[in-house]
Amino acid sequence: MKIVCTNFRVFERNTLQGFTDLEISDIGLTVRECTVHRKGDRWWIGLPGKPQIDKSGNVIRDPQSGKPAYVNILQFTGRSFADEFASDAITAIRKAFPNALSEGADA
């Protein structure tokens, strides 16, 4: 799969390393505001989501953390697809923005 990183901005908090826009050239699709995560030597890409809304139009919050609860908009049909996408995306980010991701771990 051919992925091009068109934007990356660093935002480090817990596993989150930043946000990226990824163009999947094979199908002419740009996915904006993907999250880039790292834990140890494992990297992954979070696809965009949207806040869950109740019947009254209020954002539903996680009862323990108080943070907004999100629902997936896009989803891979299997772990192997998600892993391949993450590997290709991390490679694309490193190619487009060589100094954006911390060193020492590979996708």
The percentage of the chain sitting over the pLDDT mark of 90, rounded to a whole number, equals 90
Burial of 55 (0-12, 13-18, 19+ CB in 10 A): exposed
pLDDT bucket at 103, cuts 50 / 70 / 90: low
pLDDT bucket at 106, cuts 50 / 70 / 90: very low
- Look at the pTM and tell me if it is higher than 0.75: yes
Q: In this structure, are residues 86 and 5 in contact, taking their beta carbons and an 8 Å threshold?
A: no
